[in-house]
Structure 1
């Protein structure tokens, strides 16, 4: 029963990871093992929506970001992964699309880039917009703090929108390695537990012991202190201990009364 449930969970996790790779299409001919591993790390954030508002002078924009998913829930999808909405005019602009995804990482960050957005109107060489989302390590949250940092648009090409957010998926994977000493201690503790529990059950149900007699090898453990003391005495003493003859002075009080000798029988009759 438990094995079947475990298999179902593993299959579900595999499906989620596959969906992330399928929705986020990397802009490369061959998916490297590093990129595939990074997309799998983003699986817990799949389809989650993040929003932030950015004020630029008199202009105000709301940005909606979905990791490896579509922002608009419409039947006709434009692969929009990050959308800009002008709060005054309600005009929407696709900043980045999930079918043009780039992903790299460092020690405690993941940089997710969506390209192929709508083209600029009059600057940046009319190139397509691009969104860069810096996901920084934060072990206290799955995904939070999505904010707009800046729009780099004062150049002729390679313009981009820069965002940042916090997530535990960007944290380095901590691998626990047990030392040889720790393994030996665990094995020893398990063996002691098996010895005590097994011996207790044997003494109780097979031998029929009661009280302290149920403890396995109770006689040996009672004599253990004396055995340890004898062993220390044998190992630690450099010379055998000689028993000195005790000398005790004899006092007058220890002398018994001697019978009085009478010499009357020596006198002539």
Structure 2
């Protein structure tokens, strides 16, 4: 039995294999460029996070706090959250957190009993991204008791405040559950240091346009001098680009008809 939707899949996939690989590769690169960079912490300076492009210095802030964990309450005071933004263990030595994992850098604890705890991040797993003057630290931990991935999302902002740490809320399961916090402090204003160079996203954009230019120029030369093409036929993969708008249309039709059920195929 022939399924009508296969016809649309064939049309959507009717593209030169090499071009398909290039498009897939660029999509993967663009996805990766949105990820954070691993924090590189020096053993002697665990509160200085370095990447290839910038530096986040929390030493003066944490020194002013005596190294104490950040604390905030959430969910109508049902939970207390402990966060250690440096690459070291929680200074809050709650047995419930230690039982979950002794290397936690963030822990969610039941405010009433202090017995139930969940990990939000662990040592050596911090990643950081920079958004103008703000920094976003992320970490994650999979709780063995329920196999839920809980993720710490800490935004560090330059502010005239000494250090205000607040809980911003979380999404609901299924996994991963992202817990968002904000740290506003004047200490980060002096501790934020740009190391120069291009960000990973900028590098990916440059690579994309270089490959695009190589594809267009190389394709034009190949069509003109190797295949002896004339007119619009010298455009690389001319048939594909000519049909591209119709392929996009077919993709939308296919998607919407699938959502409506098999009865919609007759209309296609």
Q: Give the alignment's TM-score, normalised by structure 1.
A: 0.44
User: Higher relative contact order at CA 8 Å, sep ≥6: structure 1 or structure 2?
Assistant: 2
Q: Give the alignment's TM-score, normalised by structure 2.
A: 0.44
Higher share in strand? 2
Bigger Rg, structure 1 or 2: 1
